[in-house]
């Protein structure tokens, strides 16, 4: 047993000696193994070409365009949170609907302070609001409030920057933390980072802002508006540049850009890369460094050549002759180039990541613009080349519609903004929706305006009711009794195969276009009591209207013209080949225009109509032309229409009032909406030397 233990001990001792002599060095390192492993993880390898390798960038630096003075995304987010402290505001949580229940959607703008200057753009915005149909001078009736303080330019380096806004708005007794207030802004932040800092707390106010970041935008509450210049027209605005002779849509250039290139700071990365897609043939991308006071201090090796190439092309010529226009971000997300491209029918190619596009909750920009990615700039040329010509034309047509409907004037931008606020109202507080339908109705309502002094109905009115009621398409007759004395009892009215309803009017000319609930059909035949029409004339005119339900179709026509000597619009009743007005004394139209006349037009225009005799039918024609961009349609008439009260001195005054009305309406719209036409529609075989039995409307030719 002792010998066995002795051998075990010697074997164990020999093993330790062997381990010490042959593996001692590894054993000594074992104690420091874990520490050296951690150090190996911390240190990068010492590459032999280390001087040629750029250091790794922190992820937060990737969006700073290489400028260490620019904020990181975390800092930008903190800046936005400081501005939008009520980032969860929605109409349901930050808007007091009780203010709108009694008087509906009314807007009040604070009185302007004499010592507080206003920029030209903000003056236009306030003027547009005060001219709108929503405006009220009484704050007790208001549902929405507009500040008189100019908040458009919040760059504290700008000469139009207004200081101490916080103190001023808190002094307003109606401020209430910003509830039910609307704030406009075009420029936010300043050099070098151009954050969304407005310099004051907006509280729970709605923000109508240009260059809106999507992550800051509060859906259903805020509205993104386009950036527009101080020279943007107040009303009307220029028409778009797409005409019939510009089809097919292919133009000289496929893709163009001409603008500033920022050498440093935010927005410089995208514009610095635009030169990569320039080929000098169908893709023109021109930039210049020559802007700002100290551009020479920062200019790079490309600047001199870029500046020379920049002067070789005219910007307007590029807009006219290009199919696509690049709209990159500037210092801020939006730019004037966006509206310029829309007007020119140059399809915008947007390179502004994170931009909440103007009125995006109402406009499908996918049908009018190409939304690109700033980091995929080199893919843009091949992407636009793949767009089919038919789709290109559809894009161009949509740009023209959007330009004319939303962006061609400050009035339209502001009305779109306030209209967006109105659509967010609960259904029981908003006005009725427009009438709609896939096809026009099979019947019509005859709407007759009676202005007899009183007593029983006049003979012309009785004859008119009998003639219209015999029409196979007549569903009902509504008489608007616009007389001082009450209407005659039911026994005094003629027997008719269709129901006759009498409505007591308010003796105002604009009453004839009020959306009365008694009108049950889409088609409305507007008549004066002295109008003389046969049943055949009514039937044929209605058949024509059913083919053109968006237009006014009628009998007596007038026209307008430009008088170069008087430098004003003229109005004529002479029979010529041109027509642009169909008098509503005998005309068909859709009852939807009653809603537009009452809800779309401001009260000031309706007051103008009530103050000038025979102006209401001109306003209705102007309204329909402004909506449809189409002329009215004249149909054949057996007898020439004669207006009452047009003889002698009274007729001269009435004619002068019509001309004044026409010019005042053109001034209000900012342009002349009326469209001239030389079209008149007659029945088949009308006046042809064939048998009467072959004609559908033979009575039209009888004297």
The residues annotated as belonging to the active site are: 617
Token pair listed for 464:
């008119």
Token pair listed for 245:
């002779």
The 8-class DSSP code of residue 103 comes to T
The CA-to-CA distance between both ends of the chain, in Å, stands at: 151
- Inter-axis angle of helices 120-131 and 410-423, nearest 10: 60
* DSSP codes, 286-355: EEE---STTHHHH--TTHHHHHHHHTTS-HHHHHHTEEEEEEE--SSS--THHHHHHHTT-EEEEE-TTB
In this structure, are residues 223 and 183 in contact, taking their beta carbons and an 8 Å threshold? Answer: no
Burial class of residue 298 in the structure, from the number of CB atoms within 10 Å of its CB (0-12 exposed, 13-18 middle, 19+ buried):
middle
Other Cβ atoms closer than 10 A to 140: 11
In this structure, are residues 65 and 375 in contact, taking their beta carbons and an 8 Å threshold? Answer: no
In this structure, are residues 504 and 514 in contact, taking their beta carbons and an 8 Å threshold? Answer: no
| Gap between the Cα atoms of 456 and 464, Å rounded | 15
CA distance to 21, 210, 233, 611, per residue, from 451 (Å): 128, 52, 41, 16
Pick from 381, 379, 390: nearest CA to 282: 381
Is the four-CA dihedral 293, 298, 301, 306 of positive or negative sign?
negative
Residue 386: CA count within 13 A, CB half-sphere:
6
């Amino acid at each position: 047993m002792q010998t066995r233990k002795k051998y075990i001990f010697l074997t164990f001792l020999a093993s330790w000696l062997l381990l010490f002599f042959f593996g001692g060095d590894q054993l000594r390192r074992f104690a420091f193994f874990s520490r050296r492993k951690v150090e190996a993880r911390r240190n990068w390898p010492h590459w032999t070409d280390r001087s040629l390798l750029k250091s790794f960038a922190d992820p937060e630096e990737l969006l700073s365009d290489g400028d260490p003075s620019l904020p990181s995304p975390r800092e930008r987010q903190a800046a936005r949170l400081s501005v939008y402290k009520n980032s969860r505001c929605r109409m349901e949580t930050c808007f007091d609907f009780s203010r709108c229940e009694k008087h509906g959607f009314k807007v009040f703008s604070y009185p302007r302070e004499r010592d507080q200057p206003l920029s030209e753009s903000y003056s236009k915005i306030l003027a547009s609001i005060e001219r709108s149909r929503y405006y009220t001078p009484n704050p007790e009736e208001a549902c929405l409030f507009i500040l008189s303080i100019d908040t458009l330019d919040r760059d504290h380096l700008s000469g139009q920057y207004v200081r101490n806004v916080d103190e001023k708005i808190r002094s307003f007794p109606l401020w209430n933390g910003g509830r039910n207030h609307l704030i406009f802004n075009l420029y936010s932040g300043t050099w070098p980072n151009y954050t969304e800092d407005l310099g004051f707390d907006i509280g729970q106010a709605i923000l109508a802002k240009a260059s809106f970041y999507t992550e800051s935008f509060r859906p259903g509450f805020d509205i993104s508006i386009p950036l527009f210049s101080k020279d943007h027209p107040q009303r009307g605005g220029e028409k778009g540049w797409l005409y019939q002779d510009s089809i097919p849509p292919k133009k000289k250039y496929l893709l163009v850009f001409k603008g500033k290139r920022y050498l440093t700071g935010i927005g410089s990365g995208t514009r610095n890369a635009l030169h990569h897609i320039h080929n000098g043939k169908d893709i023109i991308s021109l930039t210049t460094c020559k802007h700002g006071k100290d551009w020479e201090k920062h200019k790079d090796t490309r600047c001199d050549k870029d500046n020379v190439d920049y002067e070789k092309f005219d910007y307007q010529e590029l807009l006219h002759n290009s199919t696509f226009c690049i709209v990159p971000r500037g210092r801020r997300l939006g730019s004037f180039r966006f509206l310029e491209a829309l007007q020119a029918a140059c399809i915008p190619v947007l390179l502004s990541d994170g931009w909440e596009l103007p009125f995006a909750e109402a406009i499908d920009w996918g049908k009018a613009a190409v939304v690109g990615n700033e980091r995929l700039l080199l893919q843009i040329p091949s992407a636009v080349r793949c767009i089919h010509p038919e789709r290109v034309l559809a894009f161009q047509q949509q740009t023209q519609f959007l330009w004319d409907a939303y962006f061609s004037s400050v009035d339209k931008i502001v009305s779109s903004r306030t209209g967006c606020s109105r659509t967010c109202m609960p259904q029981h507080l908003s006005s009725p929706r427009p009438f709609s339908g896939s096809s026009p109705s099979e019947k019509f309502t005859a709407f007759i305006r009676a202005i007899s002094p009183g007593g029983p109905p006049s003979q012309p009115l009785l004859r008119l009711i009998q003639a219209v009621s015999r029409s196979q398409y007549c569903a009902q007759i509504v008489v608007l009794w616009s007389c001082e004395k009450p209407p005659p009892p039911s026994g005094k009215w003629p027997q008719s195969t269709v129901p006759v309803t009498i409505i007591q009017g308010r003796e105002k000319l604009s009453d004839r276009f009020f959306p009365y609930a008694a009108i049950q059909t889409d088609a409305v035949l507007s008549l004066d009591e002295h109008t003389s029409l046969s049943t055949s004339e009514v039937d044929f005119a209605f058949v024509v209207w059913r083919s053109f339900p968006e237009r006014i179709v009628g009998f007596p026509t007038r026209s307008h013209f430009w008088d170069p000597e008087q430098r004003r619009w003229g109005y004529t009743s002479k029979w010529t080949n041109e027509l642009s007005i169909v008098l509503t004394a005998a005309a068909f139209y859709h009852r939807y225009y009653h809603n537009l006349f009452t809800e779309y037009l401001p009260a000031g225009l309706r007051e103008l109509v009530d103050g000038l005799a025979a102006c209401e039918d001109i306003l209705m024609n102007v309204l329909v032309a402004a909506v449809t961009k189409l002329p009215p349609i004249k149909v054949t008439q057996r007898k020439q229409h004669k207006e009452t009260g047009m003889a002698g001195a009274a007729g001269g005054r009435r004619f002068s009032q019509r001309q004044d009305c026409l010019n005042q309406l053109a001034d209000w719209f900012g342009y002349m909406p009326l469209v001239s036409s030389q079209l008149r529609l007659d029945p088949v075989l009308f006046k042809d030397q064939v048998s009467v039995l072959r004609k559908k409307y033979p009575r039209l030719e009888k004297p």
